[in-house]
Amino acid sequence: MNTDFLHKITNWIDHNRGQFFGLLIPVTAVLILLAVGCSKTQSLKDPTKKVDRQTFVIEGLAVEQDFKEETIQLQAQLEKHNARIETYNLQKEAGLADLDQQDLRNQQILEITGGALSEYVSGGTVTAGPIILSLLNLAGIGWGLGNKLDNVRKDKIIEQQKTTV
């Protein structure tokens, strides 16, 4: 019975060659294109694998999301870094201003004491006026420095009390 059925098929193919090959060629071409021409490319996550378009697009979206998250982290790190630089610059400026102020005080002290001493050393007579003015200037500078030291000490005590409360 199989041979009769196969014989009938082969007779039909032989008798209708044009129709058979007209149907067979497009169907075969489509099947070949589907089997061989199925688009596959290298995976974004695992270069050893080949993936189809849908998987590739999904991987691409995941990678883009990873890049966005990484960009956010880098921007946060950059902001933190810039804040540290700004703090450093402020501290540096404050330190330099303090050093300039101390240098100015030292220069004033040298000028005050140097004036009375140079008058004495040069053989001139030193009167009570310049000596009293020099002593008052030195006392004013000493009072200012003492006041500054007291304020720093008091600020530290207040800060310690705030942290213990």
| Whole-structure pTM value | 0.42
| pLDDT digit string, tens, across residues 88-146 | 999 999 999 999 999 888 777 666 666 666 666 666 666 666 667 777 777 777 888 88
Dist. CA 99–CA 107, nearest whole Å: 12
For residue 62 the two structure tokens come to 């995941």
Dist. CA 134–CA 50, nearest whole Å: 91
For residue 92 the two structure tokens come to 């540096």
Q: Between the ranges 4-18, 67-81, 91-105, 133-147, where is the mean pLDDT highest?
A: 67-81
Dist. CA 87–CA 81, nearest whole Å: 10
